[in-house]
Structure 1
Amino acid sequence: MKTKLNGILTLLLALVAQVAFAQQTVTGTVTGPDGGPILGATVLVKNSSVFASTDFDGKYTIQASPEDILVFSYTGYDTQEIIVGDQTTIDVSMKTSLDEVVVQAYRSTTTKRSIVASSVVTAKQLEDRPNASAIQRLQGQVAGLSVQTSTGQPGANSLIQIRGVSSINGNTEPLIVIDGIPVDEDVFRTINPLDIESTTVLKDAAGTAIYGNRGANGVIVITTKRADFDQDLTVRYTSQTGFTELLGADYNLFSAQDYLRFERENGVGAGANGFDNSGTPLTDAEIAAFSVSESWEDAFYRTGRNTLHNLNLSSGGKNLSQVTTIGYVEQEGALLASDLQRFTLRNNLNIKSEDERFTSQTSMQLGFSKNNSQTEPDNDRNNFIYFNSIFGANRGLPYFDPNNSQNLERWVDGLQAFYSPYVTLDNTRLNTNKEDEIKMVIGANNAYKITDHITARYNIGMDYTQENYLRVADPNSALARVHASFIGPDAVEGFQTESFFRDFRFNNTLSVGYENTFGADENGEGGHTFLANLYTEYVKGHFKSFNYSQTGLNPRTFSPGNGAGFVADVEDNDEFVPTVGASKASTGLFSYFGEIDYDYDNKFGVFAALRRDASSRFTGDNTWGTFWSVAGRWNVSEMDFMQDVSWVNNLKVRASYGTTGNERIAGTYYGALNNFRTLFNTGIGYGDNQTFFRSQLGNESLRWETIKTANLGIEFGLFENRLRSTIEVYDRKTEDLFFNIFVSTLVTPSGSIQANVGDLSNKGAELALNYDLFRSDQADGFNFTVNANINYNEFEVTKIDAEGGLIDNGSTVIQEGAQLNEYFVVPYLGVNPANGNLLFEDINGNPTENPTLEDRRLTGTDSQPDFQGGFGFNTSYKGFFLESQFVFMTGLERFDSNLASYYDINDLGQYQLSSDLERSWTPDNRITDMPAVNATNLSPGVTSDRFLINSNFVRWRFLQLGYNFDREMLEKTFLQNVRIYANGENLATFSNWLGFDPESTRQSELNRYPTPRTVSVGIDLTF
């Protein structure tokens, strides 16, 4: 017996030894298509419970036998299986999955089953950029998405549009949804870009109709980063620092000496009268000796500093995981006294029950911003800064220190002082224009799996905004002293206005859904998948604001924002009477809706959605709106007859049609209702009593704008998915456009009411393309990918309920058969060789020097681009990576009012002018493009296309060069990953536009803050 036992033990030991000998340690690196390491990829020994996860350098270690199969998987990438054999090192380059998870309205699906026209931007495409705005980082990366910035002010809003302009007076920006919570557009401005996991842009009715009245302009769905369960604590720190500087303009401006000579030739200014205004012209020697040591641009503009810090902590247990991110951004604008400071905090929790039937995803975003800015001109007397007084300053005058009051006093002389660079510089130094903002978004997405096929969900979200504005014209400033000079010699001036704004929005969505697959064979093929969801939603919004304004500030006791130092009203003119205002409003939206989705074996799919909305913005039968969509797809590459076509990896055709609505009327909460105001000032109403009056006449017939959208799309991936592309064709028609129609001021003080006046059509096409020129299977191999996207959009006013089918806005019109706000001007022909006057073309095609309004005609152009898009590349090799991106717009024109001011000969002796005036017509120079300095029709009284300039452009938007340190270099440190980089934004612009920035939302360019160039360096550390 003992002998048998010994034999058995011997056999067992031998078996164990053999197994132990057969097991081997396998190591390697898992990388993405761009060669970068993938964190958290799973490496599994097939048919076992043995697995490992990759670290921050993409590396893993696992025990396996030669006959084992390792399964490599990661969300968004194809799963790969590799036999171990005698290999001890196995490196894997993951390929982008054709069946990755994508967001589709209120739910998620896979790429194969997605039926909507959408574009996805990943976290990697948004990170590392120096711009504090997440939305501006999307520019040029999504076909059909337009992101235009009209100012260089740090933290300023951008105009966001998807597939053109769908409204005239309605809101044209898309709905923003963050982690399932519809939010105000400003939240996108303040969200920390490093918190974003992915951004999905929904463009057609299949993706937007389920949002009903809020989906008219497209939807941008943001998914923020979350931690996995059973994840160790991970700490990530990122930091950037850099500088911002002004981009240059290409106007041909006079030098100081040439300007003085031109003055002398024309008998104006210091050149003709001397610096002492003695009437004696300057000599050539005096002009040659004159030198401006510092330009006015240098006095106002600077090289601004930018700093960014982010700390991210993520961890996960069995039933709870969390991500916390703390961010701080500080940006100095290129203009003095313009800057942004922003603090952000985000916490995301994932919760699940033991049986995993209950799940909850909570999110909390908090942001606090402090913004100092220099206001652009408006129509009141409290303008703080005129940018033209900087760039248009007379260089024929010496530069003076603004602290020298004697030099300042010479400019405090009537209205002309408003445009003086001395006054402007003084205002920059003393005046205040700041905004403090608090943004908070809290939400929870809860789900309970009632059965294996039925799930109930309850989503709740809150979006809170609080803003405080303070605007001060300091009593010691030149601006205040100019105003005081209008009142009297001993007058005290200065101005302060302070306002408070609060917006609270509450969103509740309750749903129940059913999903089941049936009829599949034992391999899971040939199945029918049916999905149905029913929803009800309630949205409530509360708005409140109040403001206080006071003219007359005591320079001895006043301090901005502290409420002290106001001058009592003791004058008969009520100059110092304070103004107080307040307003509040509430909005509500109740909806019920549903969707159904059917799929057959990933080959065919159909989808339908229906939604009913009731909005508090409308009355009577117009309160309710009904919106719907239908869509279908055909996954051609999944068909049996395509299985032998190896070079086609993906081919899908889809089509959709549906309707969405727009309730958001620009500038008002209630366009359909009568609004009333109470004025408490004495001397306002009858018998000097307080007044209660109707401030807005309602329109009970006002109804939703309705957008009908048809879309046809083709997606394909060829040659092992080296070539990936999407082509879209769409037709959008907006019916019942919002617009102000004029009524008598005896009926309503505004002189207009909101009405539905016409229809608008947008038609276009999109192309998105990615191609891997080089794609290595090695972790440190050479990879090179190019990308491009382009959108073509044409829009036309198809109906307008106005006299003659035309609304005349002066230099633009809204007319049936024309583009929206198409330019309506007199053609400019050039200079009359006979007398140097300007020549125009009248309505009969004949030259004229005196055009009239009847000579205006449509130009076929507007300020919206026909084509826009972006292109670029990214490459990597042995830890080094390089990325570059360009954006472009074509087919748009804008008025260059700056150029017009530089050509205005009437400003000679006061402001800077263009040296092009040296080509002015004279009897000896009759053939020229510049009129005579004494031309009699320089202001013809009607707008012409003389300064309507083509503003097409190509901009080098982004460049980044960096290095990922190899894990072996860090193995003796506490660091898991180190990445360093340098990048630049708005590096160069190629355009015929002479001004600072051809990219603008405005039809005319004058007195504006130019967009700057930004260069920075950064580091990314993981512990």
Structure 2
Amino acid sequence: MKTKLNGILTLLLALVVQVAFAQQTVTGKVTDPEGAPILGATVLVKGSSNATTTDFDGNYTISANSEDTLVFSFSGYDSVEKVVGNQTTINTTLSTSLDAVVVQAYRSASSATSNVAATTVSGEDTQDRPNASILQRLQGQVPGLIVQTGTGQPGANSTIQLRGASSINGNTEPLIIVDGVPVDEDTFRSFNPNDVESTTVLKDAAATAIYGNRGANGVIIITTKGGKFNSPLRISYNGTTSFSSFIERDYDLYDASGYLRLERRQNTGLGQSLTDAEIDNFTVSQSFQDYFFRTGVNQSHNLSLTSGGENSTQFTSLNYTNQEGTLINTGIQRFNFRTNITGKSENGKFRYSTNALMGYSKNESQTETTNGRNNFIYFSSIQAAFNARPYLDPADYRQDPASLLSYFNGIQLSPFVVIDNNLQNINRDDELKLILGGDFAYDLSDEFTLRYRLGVDYQNVIGIRANPPTSALSLIRGAGQLEGDQSESFLRDFRFNSNLNLGWEKRFGSGTEAQKKHRVLANAYVEYVKGELKSFNYNQNGLDPRTFAFGDGAGYLQDGGADDIYVPTVGSNKNTVGLFSYFGEVDYDYDEKYGFTGTLRRDASFRFTDDNAYGTFYSVAGRWNIHKEAFLADSDVVNNLKLRVSYGVTGNDRIAGGYYAGLSNIRQLFVTGTGYNDTQTFVRSNVLANPDLKWENVSTLNIGLEFGLFDNRLRGSLELYDRETTDLFFDTFVSGINGVYSTTANIGDLYNRGIELGANYDLIRAEKDGDFAMSVYANVAYNENEVTFVDLPDGRQDNTGSGTVIEIGRQISEYFVVPYIGVNPANGNLLFEDIDGNITENITAEDRRHTGTSFTPDFQGGFGTNLSFKNFFLSADFVYMTGIDRFDLQAADYLDPDNIGLYQVSSAFERAWTPDNRITDIPAINATNLAANGINTDRFLRESDFLRLRFLQFGYNLPQSLVEKSFINSARIYANAENLLTFTKWRGSDPERPSNIDQNRYPTSRIVSLGVDINF
């Protein structure tokens, strides 16, 4: 027996020794994406109770077998699993988890209990991009969200649309909120994109109805970065240098000799007097396009500091950005300072956060026009660059105003005037921006919390435009103008919002508090919003060259002569708006499996009168986490499957064309006349009141399915929606005796429907640091709309100026034109198809018909990939749109025979119809029906679909073994390219413009940049 016992003990001892020798000690460091250590992260041997936590420096030590898997986790971050193998050191970086928390309206919810349709984009996914606007960086990242710019001008605002247009004459842009403070899109001229932690786009009524009147078009919530409790001081620097060049257009144009020969054939211009030899030897040193456009050199420098103690945290950032435009004398400089502070009391009952942004920007711009070639060329470098006759040489410029205006037989529309304009004149806006926010919460008990939020958005803009008395433009006189003119404008926009909230949350059921399966949350709110915009401007005509200086306010000449009759003119505007609301929400959850949310809101808008000022809005939503059911509990395929359904009604009181058009509360000060004796000053409203005007109401049904499959390798969502807008704002004509010619009324209904699909797939996951990893993403959105009611004659509003129509049964702004057939071989005239299907040269307005297309896309979205291997990384993002048609009026200008001898024209005139060239696509230069009687045709209506490589990045992370020997935690270098490639049939500078026409616009830039990120 004793021998047997000794044998057993020996065997057990051998097993213990074997296990001991099989185990190994693993050490390492856990950091966040910026290289800062994470205190308190859990490191667990998967499938066991063997675990440890990281210390203050993020270090850990744990014993594990080679076949074990370590699980690294920390609240607010995605968990990471790594196989031990033969490694004794395993360092890990945890990425911020966007699925953990969904920011929705006035509160946040876990991904499991959220009932709303929302897409969140991490700040990591949009950082280091050369585009200076955080909103423009979202293009292609969010299904159903379109972010476009109408110009490539630095600092220009974007056009934003979510799930199609919910209004016709009302504002269609989403509400934008930064750290709880509602802001306008122009805020982002003074906003540092590197401060962004995440951007959440709320789409359905369950998410937006609680915003009432402001949520009809969706909501974009931007959350900026903050510190973390119990974390050491962390310093980060990001710097980039980029080079921008304008994207070339694809028109076939004449060179100098070809244009001169065309002029000689047409017996006009300089060419008519030159011989073949003189034309062959004619050269220019530089084109006007090369003169006015340049390679812009841009710089951005960001410095941030974060830290946190036991009861407080702080985040502070400084930014300087200098963005040169590709057009000379355009660009923007921006200075930013931000500080975010959070804290709590010792017992945690009182919590607070404050956010402050101070930004200053200086924006220099150039005039753009879509009105063709006209007197605006005096101010437009863009027109001069693209429309100047190719034999003109910028080197011939001389600073002699009289000679510039008489250049080439007295033709005043000379690109030399624009050179003079650029050298002498100024067009600048200086903007100061302040955004202040505070959030204060106190737990009255374990169940009740009282919270107060307030925010201030302040903007001050000073603009100056001046033509000195020595400039060529000073001699181009209109009524009451003398040599030189100057205007200054002053704008102050102040907005205040406050919100008081009482919240209640309680769990029900058996067991401990955490085991109780029923949770009920209720919130009651009172909100007040007030805004006031005040502007003042003055204009001076006639400047004394002896005393003139930009912005000094020097007036007219005072020499006792006739010029003394000219005095400055002034104008002012004052707009006010306000909103008072009370609302509430109830949210119920059962075991994170089933959920229900209901909201109800009552708004009183300052824009409407009497009972019409009030609107009631609501939403209901339900959720089923199907993967929580027993029949999917053991599934190896389904990790997450959530079904959501919501319905709600929101309102819109944001009337396009001004702040607030429901009441006659907008005043404008006018000064008329040019002399003391006949000057009359008066005040009138520039909005005619309509006491019957009321809210636009938007009803939305949304069905969503969220999924995570194959160990969450494949993640995404599918959304279907129906949205109806009733009581649409329409401008209706009234008699001019009222002082205005239109007023706004509710006379239309609109219907939108669509589908959105977005997915991410981890194609290859890295088993350990340095392994190859690859992920891909794609999203697509389809939207269609239909006007269902218009209370106008024939149920139609004919927009002849744009070739579009708003009509019952048709999509918004559908093209309504006469089909162009081609060129008549008999005489070179244009041929069209009339309403009866006949081929004709003569058309009327009755021959127009619907095309079934517009300038809004049917399909839009994006796709891309992220790859990493060793310390290298590569990212690529594509965006696309289909179903877009637009008028190419630039092509129309180039093919206008009346411009021969005046401006650049298309070299397609070489194949214009002649008696010897009867089969062609270009009409005769002397065709008799080129104007087509002023009727809109589809001759220049072009397809504008595109696929664009929006962003490409290649970079290298410095090895940890190298940076650990220095005073830095991590560093990386990278090269970026934006708008590198575009595949399209569109021949203009940018197929992505949010307009139905393209003509003489600032071209979009292609940007290449080099950058570095360093974390200390």
TM-score (norm 2): 0.92
Contact 1:887–1:955 (8 Å) recurs in 2: yes
Give the superposition deviation at 1:933: 1.3
1:517-596 matches, cutoff 5 A: 517-519=507-509, 521=511, 527-564=517-554, 566-567=556-557, 576-596=566-586
1:299-448 matches, cutoff 5 A: 299-377=291-369, 384-385=379-380, 387-403=382-398, 405=400, 408-409=403-404, 411=406, 416-417=411-412, 419-448=413-442
Letter in 1 for 2:970: N
Give the superposition deviation at 1:96: 8.4
| Alignment match, 2:927 | 935
Pair 1:205 & 2:205 matched: yes
Any idea what SS the aligned residue of 1:325 has?
Answer: strand
| Alignment match, 2:471 | 477
Rounded to whole Å, the distance in 1 between the matches of 2:992 and 2:81 is: 49
1:832-871 matches, cutoff 5 A: 832-871=824-863
Give the superposition deviation at 1:670: 3.6
Rounded to whole Å, the distance in 1 between the matches of 2:23 and 2:761 is: 41
Give the superposition deviation at 1:481: 2.0
Contact 2:501–2:524 (8 Å) recurs in 1: yes
**Among candidates 477, 493, 498, match of residue 508 of structure 1:** 498
Letter in 1 for 2:254: F
Rounded to whole Å, the distance in 2 between the matches of 1:786 and 1:632 is: 31
Q: Is there any run of 5+ residues in structure 2 with no aligned partner, and where? A: 1-19
Letter in 2 for 1:936: T
Contact 1:66–1:85 (8 Å) recurs in 2: no
Give the superposition deviation at 1:752: 1.0
Q: 1:693 to 1:123 in 2, by over 3 A?
A: closer
Contact 1:559–1:565 (8 Å) recurs in 2: no
| Alignment match, 1:230 | 230
1:649-688 matches, cutoff 5 A: 649-675=639-665, 679=670, 681=672
Any idea what SS the aligned residue of 2:599 has?
Answer: strand
Rounded to whole Å, the distance in 1 between the matches of 2:435 and 2:807 is: 42
Q: 1:610 to 1:664 in 2, by over 3 A?
A: same
Root-mean-square deviation (Å): 2.9
Q: 1:70 to 1:744 in 2, by over 3 A?
A: same
Q: Is there any run of 5+ residues in structure 1 with no aligned partner, and where? A: 1-19, 275-281
Rounded to whole Å, the distance in 1 between the matches of 2:43 and 2:914 is: 89
Give the superposition deviation at 1:294: 1.2
Deviations 1:7-35 (Å, cap 9, x if unpaired)? xxxxxxxxxxxxx9999863235589xx9
| Alignment match, 2:133 | 133
| Alignment match, 1:176 | 176
Give the superposition deviation at 1:648: 0.8
Contact 1:65–1:85 (8 Å) recurs in 2: no
Q: 1:602 to 1:692 in 2, by over 3 A?
A: closer
Q: 1:82 to 1:1002 in 2, by over 3 A?
A: closer
Contact 2:370–2:999 (8 Å) recurs in 1: no
Select between 524-533 and 947-956 the one with higher mean Cα deviation. Answer: 524-533
Deviations 1:442-500 (Å, cap 9, x if unpaired)? 1111111122222111111111111111111222222222328x98xxx8422211111
| Alignment match, 2:446 | 452
Rounded to whole Å, the distance in 1 between the matches of 2:999 and 2:84 is: 68
Rounded to whole Å, the distance in 1 between the matches of 2:74 and 2:410 is: 67
Select between 344-353 and 676-685 the one with higher mean Cα deviation. Answer: 676-685
Give the superposition deviation at 1:880: 0.6
Pair 1:973 & 2:966 matched: yes
**Among candidates 1003, 1008, 1023, match of residue 1001 of structure 2:** 1008
Contact 2:787–2:808 (8 Å) recurs in 1: yes
Q: 1:620 to 1:416 in 2, by over 3 A?
A: farther
Select between 503-512 and 83-92 the one with higher mean Cα deviation. Answer: 83-92
Letter in 1 for 2:837: G
| Alignment match, 1:52 | 54
Give the superposition deviation at 1:584: 1.7
Pair 1:638 & 2:628 matched: yes
Any idea what SS the aligned residue of 2:832 has?
Answer: strand
Select between 851-860 and 138-147 the one with higher mean Cα deviation. Answer: 851-860
**Among candidates 269, 286, 296, match of residue 294 of structure 1:** 286
Contact 1:337–1:372 (8 Å) recurs in 2: yes
Select between 653-662 and 562-571 the one with higher mean Cα deviation. Answer: 562-571
Contact 1:118–1:201 (8 Å) recurs in 2: yes
| Alignment match, 1:1018 | 1011
Rounded to whole Å, the distance in 2 between the matches of 1:86 and 1:925 is: 80
Deviations 1:852-905 (Å, cap 9, x if unpaired)? 112112111111111111111111111111001111111111111110111111
Contact 1:319–1:353 (8 Å) recurs in 2: yes
Contact 1:23–1:64 (8 Å) recurs in 2: no
Rounded to whole Å, the distance in 2 between the matches of 1:414 and 1:552 is: 27
Any idea what SS the aligned residue of 1:696 has?
Answer: coil
Give the superposition deviation at 1:359: 0.6
Give the superposition deviation at 1:81: 8.3
Rounded to whole Å, the distance in 2 between the matches of 1:94 and 1:323 is: 20
Deviations 1:611-657 (Å, cap 9, x if unpaired)? 00011111111111000000111111111110121111111111111
Pair 1:828 & 2:820 matched: yes
Q: 1:38 to 1:651 in 2, by over 3 A?
A: farther
Rounded to whole Å, the distance in 2 between the matches of 1:682 and 1:555 is: 24
Deviations 1:691-732 (Å, cap 9, x if unpaired)? 455543211100011111111111111111111121111111
Any idea what SS the aligned residue of 1:166 has?
Answer: coil
Letter in 2 for 1:396: Y
Select between 916-925 and 338-347 the one with higher mean Cα deviation. Answer: 916-925
Rounded to whole Å, the distance in 1 between the matches of 2:327 and 2:522 is: 55
Deviations 1:32-84 (Å, cap 9, x if unpaired)? 9xx997853743367899631597xxxx4324456999762234445568999
Contact 2:140–2:863 (8 Å) recurs in 1: yes
Any idea what SS the aligned residue of 1:703 has?
Answer: coil
Rounded to whole Å, the distance in 2 between the matches of 1:87 and 1:982 is: 33
Contact 1:984–1:1014 (8 Å) recurs in 2: yes
Rounded to whole Å, the distance in 2 between the matches of 1:286 and 1:159 is: 50
Give the superposition deviation at 1:180: 1.5
Q: 1:332 to 1:36 in 2, by over 3 A?
A: closer
Deviations 1:331-377 (Å, cap 9, x if unpaired)? 00000000100000100001100001111011001110000011113
Give the superposition deviation at 1:202: 0.2
| Alignment match, 1:5 | none
Any idea what SS the aligned residue of 2:997 has?
Answer: coil
Letter in 1 for 2:172: T
Any idea what SS the aligned residue of 1:645 has?
Answer: coil
Rounded to whole Å, the distance in 1 between the matches of 2:27 and 2:403 is: 74
Contact 1:473–1:495 (8 Å) recurs in 2: yes
| Alignment match, 1:10 | none
Select between 392-401 and 901-910 the one with higher mean Cα deviation. Answer: 392-401
| Alignment match, 1:742 | 733
Rounded to whole Å, the distance in 2 between the matches of 1:91 and 1:696 is: 65
Any idea what SS the aligned residue of 1:115 has?
Answer: coil
Contact 1:175–1:185 (8 Å) recurs in 2: no
Pair 1:273 & 2:269 matched: no
Deviations 1:953-1005 (Å, cap 9, x if unpaired)? 11111011101111111222111111100101111211111111111122111
| Alignment match, 1:16 | none
Q: 1:85 to 1:853 in 2, by over 3 A?
A: closer
Give the superposition deviation at 1:585: 2.7
Contact 1:682–1:690 (8 Å) recurs in 2: no
Contact 1:321–1:351 (8 Å) recurs in 2: yes
Letter in 2 for 1:463: D
Rounded to whole Å, the distance in 2 between the matches of 1:774 and 1:166 is: 41
Rounded to whole Å, the distance in 1 between the matches of 2:558 and 2:650 is: 55
Rounded to whole Å, the distance in 1 between the matches of 2:755 and 2:960 is: 46
Deviations 1:801-822 (Å, cap 9, x if unpaired)? 1111111110111111111111
Give the superposition deviation at 1:298: 0.7
Pair 1:619 & 2:609 matched: yes
**Among candidates 882, 895, 919, match of residue 911 of structure 2:** 919
Letter in 2 for 1:267: N
TM-score (norm 1): 0.91
